[in-house]
Amino acid sequence: MTRYCGREFTPDELKQIQSLIKHNPGFNRTRLSTEVCQILQWLKPDGKLKDMSCRVAMLRMQKDGLINLPASTRKKKPVRTIEFTNATDPQKPVVCPVNQLPQLRLQMVTKTTSALWNEYIDRYHYLGHKPLPGAQLRYFITAGEQIVAMAGFGAAAWQTAPRDQFIGWTHDQRKANLNLVINNARFLILPWIQSKNLASKTLSLMIRHLPDDWEKRYNIRPVLLESFVQKDRFKGTCYKAANWQNIGETKGRGKLGGQPGKICVPIKDIWVFPLDKKFRVLLKSTHQ
């Protein structure tokens, strides 16, 4: 079998895709990806077609010489850069412990506020802004009327040895239940906010609300959170204070594996937080 975008395609399925393309020369790439999802029943947790993932998978199949797609009918859009505006300019320092701040609240990012979240992250997070993969939720954290922090959650890493050993699941169990693991891909305390214990309290606040928010949007209740903290920059103190567990570190090979024994990206500590006492049972279940 051949794997693309988290799905394994059998030889028969590849033949089905090849036949669909051959016998429907009038179909564009969008129509083909929709048809393939329907034929293979490749669906999101909410029952919708995974057509975007399918489109990426088919592009990779073409690159590997397995299929020949019709020419793209879309005009390439210019790469959009995020321009910094007055809305995200630095503000006066806030220096006080978290218990002296106004009440902390989570505000889920909407279409209206998405650009503002992206701008803050691109301007002040050391990794900058990149679209989060797959299912996702993003938050503003406010103290009264003031934005003090931001966080983003997305799809979990496909595989990472310390996490997979911590769970104890098999390849097939991981394939079936990876959508129950959520990655804390971005976490930012704004640089002018200097509030002791704010980061750990914010993490605790998100832990209380995220499972319900995620289930409401995607009809799936996550049971484990993960986060990757770059070792040469951070110690993960706030995660430890919020009762996350450090279960090991990455090997520095990046998402695509890299060359064995060669470090090509910074090594990161792996932190996890179980959202359900039975998380191992649920993640190893074959009856989701």
> Is residue 194 domain-resident?
yes
The SS3 of residue 280 is: helix
> Is residue 31 domain-resident?
yes
> Is residue 120 domain-resident?
yes
Element (H, E) at 104: strand 104-108
Same-domain pairing of 119 and 216:
yes
C-alpha 136/C-alpha 44 separation (Å) is 13
> Is residue 76 domain-resident?
no
Residue listed under structure tokens 């039975």? 278
The SS3 of residue 165 is: helix
pLDDT tens digits for the chain (288 residues)?
Answer: 788 887 889 999 999 999 999 999 999 999 999 999 999 999 887 778 888 889 999 999 999 999 999 988 777 666 678 999 999 999 999 999 999 999 999 999 999 999 999 999 999 999 999 988 778 999 999 999 999 999 999 999 988 999 999 999 998 999 899 999 999 999 999 999 999 999 999 999 999 999 999 999 999 999 999 999 999 999 999 999 999 999 999 987 655 444 555 556 789 999 999 999 999 999 998 765
pTM for this model (two decimals)? 0.77
Contact 100, 201 (CB under 8 A): no
> Is residue 70 domain-resident?
no
The SS3 of residue 45 is: coil
- C-alpha 182: how far from chain center: 7
Same-domain pairing of 51 and 176:
no
Q: How many domains does the chain have?
A: 2
Enclosing domain of residue 268: 86-283
Same-domain pairing of 194 and 255:
yes
Same-domain pairing of 59 and 170:
no
